[in-house]
Amino acid sequence: MLVSSHSAIQEFKSRCKTAIKIDQGINGQSLVKFRKAYGNDTSLELLARLIKDQSEFFNLVENISDKQAVDIADLLFGEYANVTIEDIVICFRYAKTGKPGYEKPMSRLDGRVIFNWINEYLNEKIERIELIRSNEAHELKQELGDFNEENLKKIEEMFCKPNPVEPAKPPMSAEKQEQYIRDNIGSFNKAQISDLIRQFKLHHSCLAYEPLLNFLETELKLRK
């Protein structure tokens, strides 16, 4: 069920004010889910408004027009579908504060500059994700104790990556992965379930995995 335009605007403004750290971007709402939740017209309008506000902040000779803002927003939905709304807000905040690596617009702001900002931000985000994964792996090893690390690697390869040794064999479909996990959930401990959730969030953005993620998150809560 789509939220009303008024409610969407108020919620969106609140999220824009509180999104300040990359970790919020990592755990934010992807543009795919944002568009689905808010509806095509409202989500496009909100993102375009964010772009217009960014342009007006710099007090440029030539600000982005309404049409340009909509065009850029539409391109973001198409080319950066897995980027989160929080990512864009934080990226724009970095550009406003003159963070190194974020090109300062001179007389005008256009789509090229904005996409360069986002690409710079995504490089930082990848570094942050790798650090988080490294820390989680260390904590997971401590929690698992005697759990065989090779088995953990097999789980990751089975559900998150195609097997490079067997290129002719297609990766397990979302439906088969979900059925396998549901059938064998009793054999997974809390740490393994947490790792599966983390792997699916990092490697899959397809909506087909949402029911499985919901199932795993519910199962994890029951184990606490």
Q: Where are the domains of the chain?
A: 5-125, 146-223
pTM: 0.60
As a whole number of angstroms, the distance between CA 86 and CA 106 comes to 25
* Mean pLDDT, all residues of the chain: 80
73, 115 Cβ separation under 8 angstroms:
no
CB atoms within 10 A of CB 190: 13
Tell me, what DSSP letter sits at residue 13? H
76: closest CA among 63, 65, 85?
85
Residue type, position 51, single letter: I
Averaged pLDDT for residues 43-64: 90
3, 38 Cβ separation under 8 angstroms:
yes
Each residue's pLDDT tens digit, 85-124: 999 999 999 999 999 999 888 888 889 999 999 999 999 9
* CA-angle at 90, arms to 88 and 96, nearest 5°: 105
Q: For residue 205, what are its two tokens? A: 């953005």
